[in-house]
Chains A and B, each alone.
Chain A
Amino acid sequence: MGRDKSDLIAAACLAAFGIYVIYVGSKLSYVSEVGPGPGFFPLWIGIGLLLFGAYQMVLSYASARRHADHDVPIWSGSSRALAGWLGLAIVIALFRWIGFALGFILLTIFLVVVLNRRPAVLGTVIGAGLALAFYLLFEVALGVSLPKGPWGF
């Protein structure tokens, strides 16, 4: 998908989001006993999102019509980036059970071995080395606690 079509979809999403913000804002009280209520600010934010979202849709649609034949593709390579993000999200979800150290080593192995096509040993060494460095700097030197697994780190 090209730049203009992507812009159009993004603008439509933001305009729709504006409608949602207006809807929630209108359910909160606009005026309270002490002055403007909790719905006052969100309502105007929603209106702003809707108006500018709609305007951006018009701009993107016009641009898409102008560049119908040569819309620049912008999503090549996104699958690798999204795979990296998914790896990060899964590891964050696992921190509660496996702790920071093991989770971080797994994430590093995924980034180094799967996404960068480097040897597994290298990925493991980098992951373990960085995990140890973070432990020494944050836990030992600065007294900042990191997520812990059942084995205590």
Chain B
Amino acid sequence: MDALSNLLLGFSVALTPINLFWCFIGVVLGTVVGVLPGLGPAATIAMLLPLTLKLDSTTAIIALAGIFYGARYGGSTTSILLNMPGESSSVATCLDGYQMARNGRAGAALGISAIASFVAGTVGVLGLMLVSPPLARFALRFAPPEYFALMTLGLAMVVFLAGDSMVKALLMLFVGLWIATIGTDLFTAESRFTFGHAKLLGGVDFIAATVGIFAVAEVLINLESRIGGEILKIPRGIRNLLPTLQDLKDCRFAFLNGSVIGFVVGALPGAGATVASFLSYGLEKAVSRHPEKFGTGVIEGVAAPEGANNADAGGALVPLLTLGIPGGNTTAILLGGLILWGYRPGPLLIQEHPELFWGLVASMYMGNFLLLVLNLPLVPLFAQILRLPNYILYPFILGISVVGVYSVNNSLFDVGMMALFGLLGYLMRKLDFPAAALILGLVLGDVLERALRQSLMMSQGSLAILVTRPISATLLLIALVLLCLPAIRRVRAWRIAAVERES
């Protein structure tokens, strides 16, 4: 009953015209930012923070949070239509989303993405409302060994991204892990693999790598054909553009999977929406009745990661608001904003400022609903992008790739890196090396190395620390089982074949 009366208080705050207006502005801006690669929510919130100081603090945090979770909605659009992830958390969406677009189901992919985002985003807010304090306490039990185990579990998802060859996937995973080591070692300040370039001291920009490997490589593959690649089919009529009832039925587990994984992983500081989306994609494929179809345009392969990266937004606010610990760049800037407005995020925030916490929770319900209402009617409009002739579409993709990558650090070096990764992505496509495995290694490599080295420092070099702690041991065991799955399947197939031969 307490939660209900508090939520009513929250709605009384969120439904004031001024808060509703700024919530709307926030989610619209967030969607735009999510659609455009490079200009992420962290940069946008940082740019707008000084402007929001003139607003009431609750209104300001509602608007900024709107940008945060709105960006997660927008990120899927270019992933599905152009194979260009707007955000790192949308990389997993490319795998099946773009294939759905190629199969003439861009509208259904965009629609299911909006619906999954709404469902999981709402579940994330419910989680934020109901289980914040205990979940935050659980998240605090994650020390470096647990983070190492979680990242290892994330890497084990390579099994589900492997396609035809597990060895090729593992090779790409190692290449991704190597790319993640480029730059200055955070523990000793020594530079590694920088080839004498000062600009590599900060490491390889993630957006440059993903945009190159996915979007630029896609354009290059299509340039091979003299007519400029095949024209993507788009069915006419809104009914054919939106997901069918069967699609929704197929995705019911994906909604649940994305919601729970996204929220729980989001609550772990440092884990991030990208990990959540890959984990959720992997789980969806693991439990699917047709895992072999993943990667060819399966609707659950879009719903699960999209749900996860939206539920993550609710989860990420748990440690921020209840412990004062930001889990990533965006929440770190939100923390700065809260402190500027005179709040002290931590265990007492909910008691001392219920109107802020519950107002934000209620505004997120409203925001998720607004995003669904805004995004579904836009599906047919966005799908029209695919009707553009290839000689307009490809320059458009390359132009937006250049601008998106350049806008991250105003660096032409990053744009050059994007071109290099584009060539690498093209060669990988030609040779059937899975790009997602490389991205997985790149995303997780840094956190994995840091967690492993911190764990070994804690144990003075003993690897036993990784298997003697219950959470870490459980996660590592699950990862081991996942990694053994292909071998188990192969042995089973071999036994069935042997029995059939005998009979």
Give me the interface of A with B, judged by CB distance under 8 Å.
Answer: 3, 6-7, 10-11, 14, 18, 21, 24, 28-29, 31-32, 34-38, 40-42, 45-46, 48-49, 52-53, 55-56, 59, 74-78, 80-85, 88-89, 92-93, 95-96, 100, 104, 107-108, 111-112, 115-118, 122-123, 126-127, 130-131, 134, 138, 142-147
Contacts and interface: CB of A to CB of B under 8 A. Distances in A.
A103 B191 CA distance: 34
Given A40-B453, A77-B224, A116-B390, A145 B174 contact: no
Interface stretch (B249-257, B311-319, B379-387, B416-424): B416-424
Given A52-B171, A81-B223, A38 B391 contact: no
A6 B431 contact: yes
Contacts of B224: 76-78, 80-81
Contact of B407 (A11, A28, A89, A138): A138
B192 A134 contact: no
Contact of A14 (B175, B395, B400, B407): B175
B209 to A, nearest CB: 15
27 contacts: A35-B453, A36-B456, A38-B187, A40-B453, A41-B181, A42-B178, A52-B174, A56-B165, A59-B165, A80-B223, A81-B220, A85-B419, A88-B216, A89-B416, A100-B406, A104-B395, A108-B399, A111-B391, A111-B395, A126-B392, A130-B392, A131-B399, A134-B400, A142-B39, A143-B47, A146-B403, A147-B412
Contacts of A85: 216, 220, 419, 422-423, 426
Contact of A107 (B47, B395, B423, B453): B395
The 5 closest A-B pairs by CB, nearest first: A77-B224, A35-B457, A38-B185, A108-B395, A84-B223
A13 B185 CA distance: 26
A76 to B, nearest CB: 8
B197 interface: no
Contacts of B406: 100, 146-147
B138 to A, nearest CB: 27
Interface string B400-418: 1011001100101001100
Contacts, number: 173
A7 B171 contact: no
B457 A34 contact: yes
B25 to A, nearest CB: 14
Contacts of A83: 223
A123 B178 CA distance: 40
B400 to A, nearest CB: 7
B141 interface: no
A122 B390 CA distance: 13
A42 B400 CA distance: 34
Interface in B464-489: none
Contacts of A34: 187-188, 457
A66 to B, nearest CB: 15
Given A41-B181, A111-B394, A118-B391, A36 B226 contact: no
Contacts of A49: 171, 174-175, 178
Contact of B192 (A28, A36, A112): A28
A98 to B, nearest CB: 12
A131 B396 CA distance: 9
Interface in B223-244: 223-226, 228
A56 B394 contact: no
B341 interface: no
Contact of A144 (B219, B403, B457): B403
B457 A36 contact: yes
Interface in B155-170: 165, 167-168, 170
Contact of B419 (A18, A24, A92, A104): A92
A81 B426 contact: yes
A6 B433 CA distance: 12
Contacts of A29: 188, 190
Contacts of B39: 142, 144
B225 A130 contact: no
Given A77-B224, A88-B419, A145 B430 contact: no
A31 B219 CA distance: 44
Nearest to B44: A142
B323 interface: no
B449 interface: yes
Nearest to A75: B430
A134 B181 CA distance: 34
Contacts of A134: 399-400, 403
B221 interface: yes
